[in-house]
Each structure stands twice: as structure tokens, then as C-alpha cells.
Amino acid sequence: MREQPSATLQRAGGTMHGVQLWINLPARDKALVVALPAGAGTVRVLAGSGFGVVSQLATQHPVDYYRIALAPQASLDVAVSPTATMLA
């Protein structure tokens, strides 16, 4: 993952938008991994709950934070509350 603007943006300038969320977890809580059916991929629940797993990370506000890795051509439906904000 690059943590700097692209060469084009550095050369030509412009506006860069981004969101970055850093959560440092205890080592025992970093591997909450759920395998999806039929080899479709994996989901890591980093904060909050989902896919039958509950993170041990305590937060000030409700947060569900996942790292989803899907196999080519796989898809996944994720239920999101109508009052929540979703970033993908």
C-alpha cells in the first residue's frame, strides 16, 4: 500500500481525498478471521462484530470494521444499518 500521493499528483498537483483509520489491537485480537463458504475469500473483523465473530476491541462509538478479501468472481452481501455510514 502506498502512503504517498501518486507520481502524477506529486508532479502536477491537485486535490487528494482519503480516509485513514488506525486501530492498534493486542496481538491476540488481530487474527479474528472468518472463512467464507466455498473458498469465496476471508473476512477479518478488526472492530465491532459481524460474520459470527465479535472483536475484543472496545470503542467509544459503535464501529464495525472489516478487511474483506474475495476470490475472483466472488461476491458478498454485507448488511448495513440505514443509520450507519458505509465506506468501501
More confident residue, 46 or 23: 46
Asked if residue 33 has pLDDT above 70, the reply is: yes
User: Is 36 among the domain residues?
Assistant: yes
Secondary structure class of 16 (helix, strand, coil)? coil
DSSP type of residue 27: G
pTM of the model: 0.64
* pLDDT reported for residue 42: 94
* Dihedrals phi, psi of 30, to nearest 5 degrees: -85, -10
* pLDDT reported for residue 70: 95
Mean pLDDT of 73-88: 87
Range of the domain at 50: 30-71
Asked if residue 5 has pLDDT above 90, the reply is: no
State how far the Cα of 41 lies from the Cα of 39, in Å rounded to an integer. Answer: 5
Residue pair 47/21 in contact (Cβ under 8 Å)? The answer is: no
User: Is 44 among the domain residues?
Assistant: yes
Total of domains in the chain: 1
Asked if residue 74 has pLDDT above 60, the reply is: yes
Q: Which helix (H) or strand (E) holds 8?
A: helix 7-12
State how far the Cα of 41 lies from the Cα of 26, in Å rounded to an integer. Answer: 24
* pLDDT reported for residue 55: 85
